[in-house]
Amino acid sequence: MLRGAFAASALAALAEGVTMGAGFAPFVLDVLGGGEADVGLLLSAQEVGGLIAGALVARAGGAVAPARLLALGMTGLGAADLAMFNAPALAPRGGPALAVAIGFIVVAGVPAVAFGAGLQTVVQTGTADAHRGRVLGAMGAVSSLLLLAGLTAGGALGDAIGIRPVLSAGALTWIAGGTIARMLLRGESPTPPSPRSRGEGGVGG
pLDDT confidence of residue 142: 92
Q: Is residue 200 part of a domain?
A: no
Residue 201 lies in a domain: no
Residue 161 falls within a domain, yes or no?
yes
Q: Which is nearest to 172 in space by CA: 50, 5, 11?
A: 11
| Domain assignment present for 42 | yes
User: Is residue 104 assigned to a domain?
Assistant: yes
Residue 197 confidence (pLDDT) = 37
Instruction: Please indicate, yes or no, if residue 205 is contained in any of the structural domains.
Output: no
pLDDT tens-place values along the chain, 205 residues long: 888 888 899 999 999 998 888 788 889 999 999 998 999 888 888 778 778 777 776 666 567 788 888 999 999 999 999 999 999 999 999 999 999 999 999 889 888 888 998 998 899 888 888 888 888 899 999 999 999 999 998 888 888 888 999 999 999 999 999 999 888 887 554 444 444 433 333 333 3
Task: Give the model's pLDDT for residue 21.
Answer: 80
Q: Which of 97, 104, 114 is closest to 171 using CA atoms?
A: 104
| pLDDT value at residue 86 | 93
- The answer to whether 173 and 14 have CB atoms below 8 angstroms apart is yes
Neighbours of 61 (CB within 10 A): 16
- Count other C-beta atoms under 10 Å from residue 144's C-beta: 12
In a domain, 182, yes or no: yes
Residue 78 lies in a domain: yes
- The pLDDT assigned to 203 comes to 35
CATH number for the domain spanning 57: value is 1.20.1250.20
Nearest residue to 84 (alpha-carbon basis) of 16, 174, 171 = 171
Residue 102 confidence (pLDDT): 92
Domain count, the chain: 1
Range of the domain at 19: 2-188
